[in-house]
Structure 1
Amino acid sequence: MQCNVGRVDQAIRIIIGVVLLLVGFLTPLGLIWQVVVLILAAIALITGIVRFCPLWAVLGINTCGQGKSV
């Protein structure tokens, strides 16, 4: 699997994921909004950890550099 998420992008995604997890668990949201926030948190964390974003692959965006693999 090719890397398409650079180090700065990775850090931002992980920070956003953690913040969204906290928001999802600690704020009084409706059930649907809580699920939406937790799904977004999971997506941000997973793409940050594995350094691959399927949406960016489709759009041709790469912040990782050329030819690097995970």
Structure 2
Amino acid sequence: MKINVGSVDRVLRALVGIALIAWAVTGGPVWAWIGVIPLATALFKFCPAYAILGINTCRK
């Protein structure tokens, strides 16, 4: 897996993921657990959707 998620993108993904998971834990809707996906892509620095679409937000 080649890294394709840049620094700013990672921070935004992590914040959105944590917020959605926190909402799910505190009684939000079940679909809020989808926050696991942006959090995981932030941690692994790889987004499969970006790879398919040819997007790379990393600096070169």
TM-score by length of 1: 0.78
Structure 1 stretches lacking a partner, 5+ long: none
61, 64, 69: which is aligned to 2:55?
Answer: 61
Between structure 1 and structure 2, the one with the greater Rg is: 1
TM-score by length of 2: 0.89
* Larger RCO (alpha carbons 8 Å, 6+ apart): 1
- 4+ residue segments displaced more than 2 Å: none
Number of residue pairs the alignment of both structures matches: 60
Q: Percent identity?
A: 37
Shift of 1:65: 2.9
40, 50, 70: which is aligned to 2:44?
Answer: 50
C-alpha separation between the residues in 2 aligned to 1:28 and 1:2? 34
User: What is the RMSD of the two structures over their aligned residues, measured on CA atoms?
Assistant: 1.2
Correspondence for 2:23: 23
Structure 2 stretches lacking a partner, 5+ long: none
